[in-house]
Structure formats: C-alpha cells, structure tokens
Amino acid sequence: MPTWVIVLLIVIVVMAALIFWMNKRYKKAQDQMAKQEEQMAAVAQQVSMLIIDKKRMKFKDADLPAGVLSSVPWYQKGLKVPVVKAKVGPQMMTLLCKEEIFDDMPVKKEVKATVSGLYITKVKGLRGSNTQADTKKKKGLRAWAIRKRKELAEQSRQ
C-alpha cells in the first residue's frame, strides 16, 4: 500500500474522531444551556424600570458587582457584553441583557422587563411601543447572525 494512502486514511480517522468529539461537546453544551434557561425562568420576575442607557461594554468596565466579576473566567473579562443602566424603583442598577433584545430595547423610556437576577430576558413597552426612532437595517456579519438567530428562534416557537 502506498504511503500517501496510509497518510490519507490516518487523516480521515483523525477527522472522524474530531467530529465525533465535537458533536458530543456540542450536545453537552446544549443540555447545560437548557438547564440554565430553566433555572432562569424559575427565578424570573416582572419589574418596571426606566432604561437610562445601554451599551456594549467589557465585563471589567461595566460596573458590575464584585461577586459577578469574580465568577467570570479571566478569558471572558475582556469580552464585550450588552449592558443596560436602568432605574429600578428608587435605585440605579447595572444589568446584563440578552443579545437578541438589546437592539429592540428603548432608551429613556419606561418598560416592563422580565429580570432574572442581573439578567434581562424579556422587555415589553409600558407606554407605547418599543420601536426605536431610527429603524435602518444594520449591515455586517454580526447583524446578519443576530437576524438569523431571531428567525430560527421564531421558527422553533411555531
């Protein structure tokens, strides 16, 4: 048997093993995410809040509590996350937000939000609609990925 055939067979076996291993990791991550979603839904509360500002910031710059920052792995502290500054009752809070609803969230408006700890999962307009004044379509790979994720989520609900 020629040498190139042996090398090709070894590469195919290694690739098959790699695909199998990645598939197992993907399924495990999906199960963990489903468990986390269930836990978040169990402790979710409806809260009325005034959205003051929203930005994508790094974890370390977001003014989150020390307990939250200590639980974040070191390699994710530089990751940009959607952060919302809101007035909940008499106090100002810094909250994290789901990526899917971040763009739809109105600024300087009062909303009724579903909050799970420091994480906003759903937003409804309290007075009027949540539509922003500028509704121009964003371009780019990130915007395309977010639109596709929203479309797939809507299809899976139906």
- Across the chain, mean pLDDT equals 88
152: which residues sit within 8 A by CB, 6+ positions away? none
- Contact in structure between 59 and 72 (CB atoms under 8 Å): yes
How much of the chain exceeds pLDDT 70, in percent?
92
Mean pLDDT score, 32-45: 91
CB atoms within 10 A of CB 111: 20
Per-residue confidence (pLDDT) for residue 103, from 0 to 100: 87
- pLDDT tens for 21-37 read 999 999 999 999 999 98
CATH pick for 43-157 out of 3.30.1360.120, 2.40.50.660, 3.20.20.70, 2.60.120.380:
2.40.50.660
Per-residue confidence (pLDDT) for residue 1, from 0 to 100: 82
Residue recorded with tokens 């299809």 = 155
Structure tokens at 150: 């929203």
Smallest CA-to-CA distance from 150 within 96, 82, 100, 99 is with 100
Report the DSSP beta bridge partners of residue 55: 83
| Total length of the chain | 158
Q: Which amino acid is at 43?
A: V
Which value, to the nearest 10 degrees, does the dihedral of the CA atoms of residues 97, 100, 103, 107 take? -40
Mean pLDDT score, 126-139: 59
- What does pTM read for this prediction? 0.65
- Contact in structure between 44 and 114 (CB atoms under 8 Å): yes
Per-residue confidence (pLDDT) for residue 82, from 0 to 100: 94
Smallest CA-to-CA distance from 48 within 113, 102, 92 is with 113
Per-residue confidence (pLDDT) for residue 38, from 0 to 100: 92
Specify the pairing of strand 119-125 against strand 110-116: antiparallel
User: What SS3 state is found at 122?
Assistant: strand
